[in-house]
Structure 1
Amino acid sequence: MSADRFPLDRAADSGAGVWQVSVRGIHPVPAASCGRLIYVTDGSAAVESIAGLWVLKRGRAAWLPANLIAHLVARTGAIVAALPLELPVDRQPGPVVVTALLRALVTRLVADADTGLAPTPDGPLHAVLADELNRLPGASDLTPTPADPRLRTLAARLLQSDGLRLTLAAAGREVGMSPRNLSRLVRRETGISFGRWRQKLHVSAAITPLSQGEPVSAVAYAIGYESPSAFISMFRRVTEMTPSEYVDHLRGVPPRPRRPSLRTSVATTLAAALPAALTDWGEWLAFVT
């Protein structure tokens, strides 16, 4: 891994390194013969590939398997580490839950890279890192990834804190398209409507911070929702689970039994009592007649 920080647009021959983004925009991440852990050490970036689109803030990570071509959508000044691993890692591409051990390993490897002491991608620290990656749950991506560069740019825009307030017409102006043409393009590229696509983007962006223990309210406000309840309702519509249920699912925790609603409880009680009530009513009718 290179000990130098360098602009992504000059990283054509390297799939690993510590990159400092010099120009805001979309930057290619060169393919590599081994898997890489992408870790944002400062700023924020979105990692986009054929496998999905994942938003990473400072201290968050995503896994890219070998030979997967990706792009970074980042702001000026973002610093992103790509740590190569030539050891077997059995996981799908996507966000990684950053534990204390994983953060310590990445911090050490990045520091070694800065001082020119980076070990080989199959060294002892990398072995521990690979073992931790194999142990950790993934954060499945739900967002269809468009191939059109205008939609990739728009996806990053919709994930900003005010992206929820963008109408279809306003979103079209962001990429120089009419509302009708944008709607058609989104459906052709993703198979879903513009509104549904934005909801899935928000769910995908929320999975990593939620899995790392951030409160639902903080995640909801960061994405742009006016209340946690509105965010939870949207999350449930997309995943058919609440945020906490979804995180438990990622961690392999058995689903907890849900407390039945008042309507369900009343209906169950009536259904159980009705046969007996009908029997009593029949006996009373037989008696009076």
Structure 2
Amino acid sequence: MGFELRYPWPDLDPDDVAAPALAVRLDVTENRVEAAEHAHRKGQLVFALGGGVMCRVPNGLWMVPPHCGVWLPGGTRHTNMATANARIFFVFIEPGAADLPDRCCTLSISPLLRELIVALSDRKQHDAGEATLIAQLLLNELPRMPVQQLHLPISPEPRLQRIAADLANDPSDRSTMAEWAGRMAMSESSLARLVLSETGLTFGRWRQQLHLIVALRDLSAGASVQQVSTALGYESVTAFITMFKKALGKPPAKYLSDIVQGGGSAFAA
């Protein structure tokens, strides 16, 4: 999964724009190319109005479901990947312009904030005064958004990097922790301790978090619950729905429906 970024203004460098907030809408092509790792001086909000987007940072993988956003503080190295049908907005914010977290996090996006982002991205439709007013309203609203959690901690530890890569490439792999430990030439108990110390999660919870990220990505792209269940290696659709509901509080269809209708308010912590 990936996308080619096409800015409306080819020579645009967001860090050179003298504005406290700048919103850019990006067109997603069918080219499955992951944007190269990079960083901005400004903070960046990655917002998906449709489809699914994932942000990869050095220590984690963040999912951006429709009508939610991921906040990346200035200087954070990252790559972005999206489904082919995604409608993406990047909001670049000057350091100190708003009281925002100093760490990567997922934010709910209210209907008001959604409209402000879309309006600010229509740069040619506003004069300087209108754009300044919209930006100020956006900067007032954004810090009020609830911080949510849906990311996969990725440790720099080489063995966990390899496991994470293998699971991302084949999320249907249902190997036991003992089998993974054998592949890494270590004991099951040693792997259990390593995963917990490096990620803060048990092995089972860590793998489930990856499944949730993949599931939301694919469901957002239009895949059916049956297709996602099969792709993740579940023995039945019922087993997948049970896992999803236990983790996020609602079955997949209801969860995604509430996100779209409520502008992100259904995002479980």
**TM-score, normalised by the number of residues in structure 1:** 0.54
3-state SS, counterpart of residue 136 of structure 2: helix
Query: Which residue in 2 is equivalent to 1:34?
Result: 42
3-state SS, counterpart of residue 199 of structure 1: helix
Q: Which runs of 5+ in 1 are unaligned?
A: 208-218, 237-246, 251-289
3-state SS, counterpart of residue 74 of structure 2: coil
Alpha-carbon deviation of 1:153? 5.1
- Please give the alpha-carbon distance, in whole angstroms, between the structure 1 residues aligned to 2:138 and 2:185: 42
Which residue, out of 78, 83, 86, partners 2:91?
83
The one-letter code of the counterpart of 2:40 is A
Query: Which residue in 2 is equivalent to 1:108?
Result: 119
Which residue, out of 221, 231, 244, partners 1:231?
244
Which residue, out of 73, 80, 88, partners 1:72?
80
- Please give the alpha-carbon distance, in whole angstroms, between the structure 2 residues aligned to 1:106 and 1:182: 49
Contact 1:146 1:152 in 2 (8 A): no
Which residue, out of 50, 53, 58, partners 1:50?
58
Structure 1 vs Structure 2: percent identity of aligned residues? 22
Indicate how the Cα distance of structure 1 residues 12 and 198 shifts in structure 2: closer, same or farther if over 3 A, else same: farther
Contact 2:63 2:70 in 1 (8 A): no
When you count helix as a share of all residues, which structure comes out higher? 1
Contact 1:14 1:30 in 2 (8 A): no
- Please give the alpha-carbon distance, in whole angstroms, between the structure 2 residues aligned to 1:125 and 1:32: 22
Indicate how the Cα distance of structure 1 residues 28 and 59 shifts in structure 2: closer, same or farther if over 3 A, else same: farther
Greater RCO (Cα-Cα under 8 Å, separation 6 or more): 2
- Please give the alpha-carbon distance, in whole angstroms, between the structure 2 residues aligned to 1:60 and 1:222: 24
Alpha-carbon deviation of 1:140? 3.0
- Please give the alpha-carbon distance, in whole angstroms, between the structure 2 residues aligned to 1:179 and 1:75: 34
The one-letter code of the counterpart of 2:25 is V
Alpha-carbon deviation of 1:50? 3.3
Indicate how the Cα distance of structure 1 residues 54 and 231 shifts in structure 2: closer, same or farther if over 3 A, else same: same
Alpha-carbon deviation of 1:103? 0.9
Q: How does 1:92-171 map to 2 (within 5 A)?
A: 92-112=103-123, 115=124, 123-141=132-150, 143-147=152-156, 154=166, 156-157=168-169, 163=171, 165-168=172-175
**TM-score, normalised by the number of residues in structure 2:** 0.57
Of structures 1 and 2, the larger Rg is shown by 1
Contact 1:34 1:65 in 2 (8 A): yes
Alpha-carbon deviation of 1:202? 4.2
